[in-house]
Every structure is written in structure tokens, then in C-alpha cells.
Amino acid sequence: MDTLHDVTLPSDVIKFLEYLQARGRRPSTIKRYRYDLEDFFRYYKENNNNSNNWKELTQADYELFFQYLFTERNYSLSTMKRIHTVLKRLNLFYNLTDTPPEMNLNLEKKTLQKADFISEQEQEQLMKTLQSTSGLTDNQLRSRHLLIDRNIMIVRLLLTYGLTLQELVSLRMKHLHFEQNSLDIQSESSLSRTIELMEDDKQLLYRYIKTIPEPVRPRYHSSDPLFVSFDFQRGTYRWVYEKNAPKRLTEIAIQKMIREEIARSELRKGICAQHMRNTCILDQIKNDKSTEAIQQYFGFKTPLSLKRFYKYVEDHLSVN
């Protein structure tokens, strides 16, 4: 069965996959290429504001994509190399000059500094702002009552529970268990796990869901996304008729919301979801949780992922 046409890729990209197939590449290789290309073009679709033709992308555009994979998706260097190879071969297939730039093969996670975390004062200011209407436009004020609980819960899942952006947007209604006060976390880059929700956060999630009008509300125990997209022009949540389901809130939309709330809070520029997760991990270490417990809680595949954090504690927080 031909599966190449079952994906939402541009026709010229499918042509590239068909070429590889005709050259005798293994089905597993084609499947891997397709998966990586879908990942890239999903990002491209969500970030493309200037062009409807992917062939017009520049090296700078590709650099932003790989920076996004590194900082926001926490992709390993080996995974990024693989995706880089796929995109480079696609560009060469069409003889494009602005191929993805050569990657720094010595790329490593940088040493953590104070600026990579959010201070308690910054956290307090951000949460205060999330609950206020200060600095909002008239258009934003009209919809604020529908979004305030959603936005607070998103920040809490990042800052208090340490989810990644990818884990956040992957949450579906079937992952939420109100009876057990728990949330199943599905991850592409880490181990899947279940976290326990605090009672206040469970109630916050419940209120958020109930603010969504019933006709477009995510359905309990279904594959509907937990966090759904909002249409400010129409003043309601978006619905995908082809899937008969609410439209999923994207990572890009969450990043934009965070940037706006950080600016409204008059905090330093650049604070993002990764800073929130970093802070959550650091808090666990400061609370004397064992390495094994922290590794399990955040879904790290190896304790090496925590090495930078222990180094930061040793260099900056250790008592002399």
C-alpha cells in the first residue's frame, strides 16, 4: 500500500520521497524521512508569515528551526544531525542554494547561568500579572475571561511541574484524570510518565474546561486536545471540521502568549518555557530530591541530563 500520499506534505516534497522510494531506499528509511519532514513542515506552517513557498527559505530560517529544536524541544544532537541530513538532501534534490547551514558538530548544552532561571520575585510578578487586566487592549479584554485560567494553567504546568512545550501541546483529554488528580505526560524526547496534580490546579483545569462553550469544548476521555486554540477575531475557540474536534493550541501560540505576558509583567526579555522548566528542575534539586526521583519525574532517559543543574548548584548555591 502506498502511504506517501497519506501525509500533509507539499507535493514537491512527496515527489522527493517517491524518488527515494524508486531508488530502492528501505521502507523504514522512507518512513524516517517522512517523519522528520513532517516535523519540519509543521514548524514551517506555524511560523511562516512571509512566504507560501518553502523553497524560498534562507539559511537564517533553518538556523532558527534548529535553535528551536535545541532550546525548546530538547532534541539530542544526534536527532538534529539526522533531521539536518534529511533537509539538506531535500534541498540538494531541487538544487537550492540556501541549503540548511552546516551544523556545529561540537554543539553542547551551554553551562547554566543565573539568567537561565526565573527568580522567586519574577515568578510572583508573572503570576500577579496573569491574574490582572493591566496593559490589555480592548480586544484582549473582551476575551480575557475565557483565557485567564487557561494561561495560568499553562504557566503552572511549565513552571511548577516542569513540562516541555512539546509535552504540553501533546496533552489530550484522555490524559487527564480528575478522579486521581493526575495527568499522563506523553513525550517524544523524554520518557512518558504520570504526574500528580495539586488540588488547586485540578480545580483550575476544571474551570478552564468549563469556560469553553459546550459545542466546541474538548470531550472527556477523548483524543481532543486539552489546550485549544482561540480565535480573537470571532471571540471563540477554533474547531477543525475535518477532524470534528477542537483545534490544538500550538507551541508557537504558547510561546507568543508567554512573550506577551512577560512583557506585560515588565520582566526581562527572553524568558521562555525553557526557563520555567529549568527553574522547576532546580527547585527539585534544592529540595533534596534524589537524582533517581528527579530523573523519573521529568522523564529523563539518563541522569546525565541533570549534570548541568548539579554543576550550577555546586558553583552558585553551595554553602561555603
What average pLDDT does the chain have? 87
CATH number at 173 reads 1.10.443.10
Number of domains, the chain: 2
In a domain, residue 238? The reply is yes
Q: Does residue 289 lie within any of the structural domains?
A: no
Query: What average pLDDT does range 135-153 have in this prediction?
Result: 90
Q: Which one of 226, 241, 268 terminates a domain? A: 268
Would 222 be classed as within a structural domain? yes
Which structural domain range is residue 76 located in?
4-93
pLDDT for residue 102: 72
Asked if 137 and 68 sit in the same domain, the reply is no
Q: Give 301's contacts (C-beta < 8 A, 6+ positions apart).
A: 190, 191
Q: Beta-carbon neighbour count of residue 227 at 10 Å?
A: 24
Structural domain contains residue 112: no
pLDDT band at 117 (very low <50, low <70, confident <90, very high): very high
Residue 317 domain flag: no
Lowest mean pLDDT among 49-58, 166-175, 242-251: 49-58
Cβ burial of 37 (10 Å; 0-12, 13-18, 19+) is buried
Query: For cell 503552572, what's the residue?
Result: 156
Which residues lie across from 225 on neighbouring strands? Answer: 172
- Per the domain annotation, does 197 fall within a domain? yes
The verdict on 132 and 31 lying in the same domain is no
* CA 58 – CA 53 distance, rounded (Å): 11
Tell me the average pLDDT across 145-156: 95
Which tens digit of pLDDT belongs to each residue from 229-266? 999 888 889 999 998 999 999 888 898 899 999 999 99
Asked if residue 144 and residue 63 are part of one domain, the reply reads no
Query: Are residues 273 and 249 in contact, defined by beta-carbon separation less than 8 angstroms?
Result: no
What is the helix, strand, coil percentage profile of the chain, to 5?
Answer: 55, 5, 35
C-alpha cell at 28: 523504514
> N- to C-terminal Cα distance for the chain?
66
